[in-house]
């Protein structure tokens, strides 16, 4: 009777913990992503610590400040390079919208597919865009707040010097502790491979878009290429944003440039999703192509953009754990 009662209490506590985890899933995702990013950044911090600067090796706090501060500075510089010409193009588009809209409509009417297109329909879409812009702005502000939370938590975990990780391992019985530590280390190496894979994809997109945009003679083609490469780190939403930015700049010049820009992104997304991403990620994290696609889909469905970002490295860690404890047991 006592054993049955204990099992019922344990099952109830397990269900309660699962319900609480689901209720706090957004916060738990931020904490998990922070731990993941800290694990990825830690080797770079350690490498900076081993570097001699002015005859001395920097402390862990200084090395962490250099790494995180350097990343923030690079992000700010990138935004300063990208935003001014982009705002200039958008401002010019809004001020010249009536004239541009009439010219665009006249071009579209030359094609049989768009002969029945009414300008008022386009204006309706523009109005709907304005209605939803407030909601998008609120979502962007929440995203910035989440990003700030991740930066702070990641910084704390780096300063913590692995004490949280060691505490977690201390909860495991000593007989199993070394095996788990070695498995997590191998999973960490595979997650670092994911970071290399993402950087490779960003470099490929940035380079190819720079070449195509230069051939199309787009204004600020180097800025658009840089934005496309950086935004490629954000699954789904990043490439879509890069496409919209480039399409706005191209549409202000001519219809052929707009068609060429959209055609490039369409072809590139097909090539990246069907060939580049599966092969690069498979080589980087040693995962089958199907597993990479499924991981991205599940991560995006459960956690949105952030879930898609951490999906592949999480799948690599899970694969290592399954290989050690499910396959080799």
The H or E element spanning position 80 is helix 60-95
Residues spanned by the domain of 307: 174-329
pLDDT in tens, 17-65: 888 888 888 888 888 888 888 887 877 887 888 887 777 878 777 787 7
Residue 12 CB contacts under 8 Å (≥ 6 apart), including other chains? none
How is residue 51 annotated by DSSP?
S
Residue 17 covered by a domain: no
Tens-place pLDDT, residues 207-266: 999 999 999 998 878 888 888 888 887 777 788 888 988 888 887 778 889 899 999 999
Answer whether residue 282 shows pLDDT above 80: no
**Residue 31 placed within a domain:** no
Average pLDDT, the chain: 78
Cα–chain center distance at 211: 24
The reply to whether 271 falls in a domain is yes
Confidence (pLDDT) at 194:
80
8 Å CB contact between 309 and 235: yes
Nearest-angstrom CA–CA distance, 106 and 114:
10
315 contacts 292 by C-beta, under 8 angstroms: yes
Contact of 210 with 221, CB cutoff 8 Å: yes
Residue 135 lies in a domain: no
Q: Tell how far CA 252 is from the center of its chain.
A: 29
The whole-number pLDDT of residue 28 equals 85
> Residue 314: its pLDDT value, please?
86
Query: What is the C-alpha separation between 251 and 246, in angstroms, rounded?
Result: 8
Mean pLDDT in residue range 152-181 = 80
Q: What residues form DSSP beta bridges with 53? A: 56
DSSP string, 231-255: HTTSTTHHHHHHHHHHHHHHHHH-H
- Whether this prediction's pTM lies above 0.75 is answered by no
Q: In the chain, how many domains are there?
A: 1
**Is 65 domain-assigned?**
no
- For residue 287, the model assigns a pLDDT of 78
Domain-located, residue 104: no
Eight-class DSSP state of 255: H
Nearest CA to 298 among 283, 285, 311? 311
User: Among candidates 230, 244, 239, which has minimal Cα distance to 74?
Assistant: 230
Per-residue model confidence as pLDDT tens digits over 95-107: 666 666 666 666 6
Q: What number of helices (H) and strands (E) belong to the chain?
A: 12, 0
Q: Is the pLDDT of residue 132 over 70?
A: no
Q: Which of 30-34, 88-92, 163-167 has the lowest mean pLDDT?
A: 88-92
Q: Is residue 18 part of a domain?
A: no
Nearest to 296 by CA among 150, 198, 185, 193: 198
Contact assessment for residue 67 and residue 44, using Cβ atoms and an 8 Å cutoff: yes
Phi and psi dihedrals of 116, rounded to 5? Answer: -95, 10
Token couple for 77? 């510089």
**Do 190 and 317 meet the contact criterion of CB atoms below 8 Å apart?**
yes
Residue 35 lies in a domain: no
């Amino acid at each position: 009777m006592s054993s049955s009662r204990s099992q019922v209490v344990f099952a109830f506590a397990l269900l309660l913990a699962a319900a609480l985890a689901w209720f706090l899933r957004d916060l738990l995702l931020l904490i998990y992503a922070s731990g993941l990013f800290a694990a990825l950044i830690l080797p770079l911090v350690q490498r900076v610590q081993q570097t001699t600067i002015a005859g001395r090796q920097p402390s862990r706090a200084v090395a962490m400040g250099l790494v995180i501060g350097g990343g923030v500075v690079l992000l700010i510089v990138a935004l300063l390079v990208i935003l001014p010409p982009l705002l200039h193009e958008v401002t010019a588009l809004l001020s010249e919208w009536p004239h541009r809209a009439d010219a665009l409509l006249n071009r579209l009417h030359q094609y049989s597919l768009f002969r029945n297109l009414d300008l008022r329909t386009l204006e309706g879409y523009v109005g709907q865009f304005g209605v939803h812009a407030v909601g998008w702005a609120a979502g962007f502000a929440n995203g910035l707040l989440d990003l700030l939370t991740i930066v702070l938590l990641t910084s704390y975990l780096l300063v913590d010097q692995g004490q949280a990780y060691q505490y977690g391992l201390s909860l495991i019985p000593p007989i199993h502790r070394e095996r788990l530590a070695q498995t997590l280390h191998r999973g960490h190496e595979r997650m670092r491979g994911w970071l290399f894979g993402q950087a490779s994809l960003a470099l490929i997109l940035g380079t190819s878009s720079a070449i195509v945009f230069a051939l199309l003679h787009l204004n600020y083609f180097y800025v658009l290429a840089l934005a496309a490469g950086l935004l490629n780190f954000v699954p789904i939403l990043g490439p879509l944003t890069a496409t919209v930015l480039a399409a706005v700049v191209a549409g202000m010049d001519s219809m052929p440039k707009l068609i060429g820009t959209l055609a490039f992104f369409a072809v590139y997304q097909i090539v990246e999703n069907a060939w580049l991403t599966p092969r690069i990620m498979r080589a980087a994290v040693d995962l089958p192509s199907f597993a990479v696609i499924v991981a991205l889909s599940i991560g995006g469905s459960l956690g949105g953009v952030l879930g898609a970002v951490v999906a592949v490295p999480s799948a690599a860690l899970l694969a290592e754990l399954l290989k050690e404890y499910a396959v080799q047991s």
